[in-house]
């Protein structure tokens, strides 16, 4: 009962936040909707007993990435979005059709799939359990991703250096 | 929270809360009481610190400071609060009204939420989460978001520049602070605030001089990396809390007052409530991570929970250590000039981040090296390092200070307090 109420609360906030990001005219309002979505997602992770993931969601996304977004919005001093040149009707139609098709595909996929309720181990989501999975079971993908991130950072430095 | 509530109920009214039909409601009541207590503590502490900081600043600048209301001006913070509450809450016409109103609440909420996982003594903690430290780091994100909201919605260039500086500063200094926190976390093998303090209680079953919160059991004297991390953490925490020498977001000589320029009345006071209460948060974090937390010297940590008197002593120990650190932070504010923006960034990215990266890696290696040694050798190493990094420098410092006093035929004078 409580779980269902909390789930719907977080789910509605997450979706509303996501819509807010897309629909808000003022970029800062968009960024703050994103913040609401991040917190709602953290709540959903908590409901799934993934505490570490929930806290990291807030720490990394709300604490670092969103603050970076806000910093950029403030630095560029973006006002409410100026009326951009509206795309031609054909593009709008194609976009709407594509979105509808994707929505239909996802709906049929989720409705047809069965999700057997999993029984998580008692230490599921705790730091030690996540650490074991990350550093023992999936060491190679983890290291590959760290290499990828390093390459991305170096790439960003090289791109930025050209202009400084 | 639940064990503490159970223990209190058992000892006060001799009933077993587990047998009650509405136990959850009782716990909820306890949580509400804890919340009210912590929020009140935040407000009263920041009020008292505002008086203390102004008195201390007065003393350091050879003037008196506020001394009109109450003994030694102590009640000036009550007078200030009354004045700020009764002031008109002005909202600039061209501002973004909803965000302008909401900003200060985000700031205060982000700060008060950290107290949920901050301990005050053995068992005296609202919620001993196993992710306590991560939780504290993550909820402080709300403070920055609130600051930026206020800065942007004010629609004023002073506020905007203050907000930009605050965002840049916090994003940068979060990295060395987070890495410095990882060193005690590695040493303790826990992210829970109480777990980290328990890990500083000396070897199990140690004698009087090995058990409990003796300085040589503190993480700051555990190894050279932890010693460095303590200072890096303090520096980064100063920067994250917008304290001098990192108070660029509210540099009054160039930005009027930074992000809070357009605010007045209660909303204005929220920013200062946060700034001063944040002194407690950063000092309490430094105390629990590096200075042994509430561990009582000579008392094994397992014994404390069984006696109310010892719990009270542990509370006193924690408060004394934290207040001593708050004092140091205030000294720093009135000693150091404000640094430039580029100097601030250079300090963070070119010095603190690489130092902390190395410290975390070396700590892991250090632990690998000493995991194979006997605990006795570890205690000996702690003792040697405590002598080298703590005791000897302290003695030398005191000798030099008193030599200087003699040389200038000056004297220790505390009369104008």
- Choose among B129, B130, B149: nearest Cβ to A32: B149
Residue A129 touches partner B, C-beta closer than 8 Å:
no
Quickly count: other Cβ atoms within 10 Å of residue A141's Cβ.
10
Q: Which run of H or E residues covers position B385?
A: helix B375-386
Mutation test of the interface with chain B: which of A74, A77, A126, A127, choosing the one with the most B Cβ atoms within 10 A?
A74
Question: Shortest CB distance from A58 goes to which of B141, B152, B164?
Answer: B141
In order, the DSSP letters of A29-84 are HHHHHHHHHHHHHHHHHHHTT-HHHHHHIIIIIIIIIHHHHHHHHHHHT--SPP-P
Q: Is A154 exposed, middle or buried (0-12, 13-18, 19+ CB in 10 A)?
A: exposed
Q: Hey, is the C-beta of A99 within 8 angstroms of any chain B C-beta?
A: no
Asked if the C-beta of A126 comes within 8 angstroms of chain B's C-beta atoms, the answer is yes
Query: Tens digits of per-residue pLDDT, A106-146?
Result: 999 888 877 777 777 777 777 888 888 888 889 999 999 99
Interacting residues of B339 by C-beta distance below 8 A, sequence separation 6+: B245, B246, B248, B347
Residues of A in contact with B140 (CB under 8 A): 63
- CA B78 to CA B98: how far, in whole Å? 29
The closest of B235, B237, B229, B231 to B360, measured between CA atoms, is B229
- How confident is the model over A52-64, as a mean pLDDT? 85
Number of CB pairs < 8 Å for A and B? 76
Q: How far is A110 from chain B (nearest CA, A)?
A: 33
User: CB neighbours of B38 closer than 8 A, spacing ≥ 6?
Assistant: B112, B115, B116, B126
Predicted pLDDT at A103: 92
pLDDT of A78 > 70? The answer is no
Single pTM value for the model: 0.85
The ipTM assigned to this model is: 0.77
Per the CB < 8 A criterion, the answer to whether B18 and B109 are in contact is: no
Selected residue of B101, B131, B357 to mutate for chain A interface (largest A Cβ count, 10 A): B131
Beta-strand runs (E) in B110-174: none
- In degrees, to the nearest 5, what angle opens at C-alpha B332 toward C-alphas B328 and B338? 160
For B129, phi and psi rounded to 5 degrees? -80, 150
Q: What is the DSSP letter of B389?
A: I
Mutate to test the interface with B, among A64, A79, A123 (most CBs of B within 10 A): A64
Closest CA of chain B from A122, distance in Å: 14
Taken in order of first residue, the domains within chain A and their CATH numbers are 2-79+124-163 (1.20.120.1200)
Measured CA to CA, the distance from residue B212 to residue B313 in angstroms comes to 13
Closest CA to B110 of B286, B281, B333, B242: B281
- Measured from the Cβ of residue B374, the count of other Cβ atoms closer than 10 Å reads 9
For chain B, give every domain's residue range. Answer: 1-86, 87-370
Q: What is the CA B35 to chain-centroid distance, rounded?
A: 19
Q: Which of A51, A63, A75 sits opposite B141 (nearest CB)?
A: A63
Per-residue model confidence as pLDDT tens for chain B (417 residues): 666 777 777 777 766 666 677 777 777 888 888 889 888 999 899 989 999 998 888 888 888 888 888 888 888 888 988 888 888 888 888 878 888 888 899 889 988 989 888 888 887 787 778 888 888 888 888 888 888 888 888 888 888 888 888 888 888 888 899 899 999 998 888 888 888 888 887 776 667 777 777 888 888 888 888 889 999 999 998 888 888 788 877 777 777 777 888 888 888 888 888 888 989 999 999 999 988 888 888 777 777 777 778 888 888 889 999 999 999 988 888 888 888 888 888 888 899 999 999 999 998 888 887 766 666 677 777 778 888 888 888 999 999 988 888 888 777 776 655
Nearest to A52 by CA among A153, A143, A130, A134: A130
Chain A nearest CA to B160, separation (Å): 7
**b/e sequence B298-330, b meaning 16+ C-beta within 10 Å:** ebbbeebeeeeebbebbbebbbebbbebbbebb
Contacts of A66 in chain B (CB under 8 A): 141, 145
Q: How many CB atoms lie under 10 A from the CB of residue B40? A: 10
């Amino acid at each position: 009962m409580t779980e269902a109420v909390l789930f719907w609360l977080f789910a509605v906030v997450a979706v509303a936040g996501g819509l807010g990001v897309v629909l808000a005219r003022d970029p800062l309002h968009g960024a703050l909707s994103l913040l609401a979505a991040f917190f709602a997602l953290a709540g959903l992770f908590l409901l799934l007993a993934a505490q570490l993931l929930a806290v990291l969601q807030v720490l990394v996304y709300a604490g670092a990435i969103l603050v970076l977004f806000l910093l950029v919005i403030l630095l560029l001093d973006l006002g409410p979005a100026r009326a951009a040149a509206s795309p031609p009707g054909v593009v709008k139609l194609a976009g709407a059709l594509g979105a509808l098709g994707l929505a239909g595909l996802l709906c049929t996929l989720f409705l047809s799939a069965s999700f057997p309720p999993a029984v998580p181990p008692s230490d599921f989501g705790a730091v030690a359990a996540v650490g074991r999975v990350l550093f023992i079971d999936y060491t190679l993908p983890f290291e590959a991703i760290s290499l990828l991130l390093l390459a991305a950072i170096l790439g960003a430095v090289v791109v930025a250096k050209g202009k400084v | 929270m639940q064990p503490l509530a159970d223990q209190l109920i058992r000892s006060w009214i001799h009933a077993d809360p587990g047998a009650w039909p509405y136990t959850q409601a009782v716990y909820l009541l306890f949580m509400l009481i804890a919340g009210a207590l912590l929020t009140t503590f935040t407000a009263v502490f920041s009020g008292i610190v505002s008086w203390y900081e102004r008195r201390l600043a007065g003393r350091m600048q050879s003037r008196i400071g506020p001394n009109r209301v109450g003994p030694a001006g102590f009640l000036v913070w009550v007078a200030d609060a009354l004045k700020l509450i009764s002031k008109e809450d002005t909202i600039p016409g061209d501002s973004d009204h909803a965000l302008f109103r909401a900003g200060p609440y985000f700031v205060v909420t982000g700060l008060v939420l950290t107290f949920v996982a901050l301990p005050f003594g053995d068992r005296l903690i609202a919620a001993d989460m196993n992710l306590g430290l991560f939780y504290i780091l993550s909820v402080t994100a709300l403070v920055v978001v609130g600051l930026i909201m206020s800065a942007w919605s004010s629609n004023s260039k002073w506020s905007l520049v203050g907000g930009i500086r605050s965002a840049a500063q916090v994003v940068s200094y979060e990295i060395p602070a987070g890495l410095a926190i990882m060193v005690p976390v590695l040493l303790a093998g826990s992210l829970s605030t109480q777990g980290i303090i328990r890990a500083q209680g000396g070897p199990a079953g140690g004698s009087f001089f090995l058990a409990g919160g003796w300085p040589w059991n503190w993480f700051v004297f555990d190894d050279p990396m932890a010693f460095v991390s303590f200072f890096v953490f303090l520096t980064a925490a100063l920067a994250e809390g917008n304290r001098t020498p990192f108070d660029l977001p509210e540099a009054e000589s160039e930005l009027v007052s930074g992000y809070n320029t357009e605010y007045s009345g209660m909303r204005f006071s929220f920013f200062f409530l946060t700034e001063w209460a944040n002194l407690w948060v950063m000092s309490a974090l430094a105390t629990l991570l590096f200075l042994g937390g509430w561990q009582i010297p000579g008392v094994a940590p397992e014994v404390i929970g069984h006696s109310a008197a010892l719990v009270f002593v542990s509370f006193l120990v924690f408060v004394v250590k934290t207040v001593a650190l708050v004092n140091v932070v205030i000294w720093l504010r009135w000693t150091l000039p404000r640094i430039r923006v580029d100097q601030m960034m250079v300090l963070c990215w070119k010095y603190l981040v690489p130092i902390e990266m190395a410290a975390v890696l070396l700590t892991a290696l250090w632990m690998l090296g000493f995991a194979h040694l006997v605990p006795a050798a570890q205690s000996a190493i702690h003792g040697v390092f405590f002598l080298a990094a703590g005791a000897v420098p302290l003695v030398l410092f005191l000798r030099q200070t008193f030599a200087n006093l003699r040389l200038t035929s000056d004297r220790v004078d505390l009369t104008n307090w």
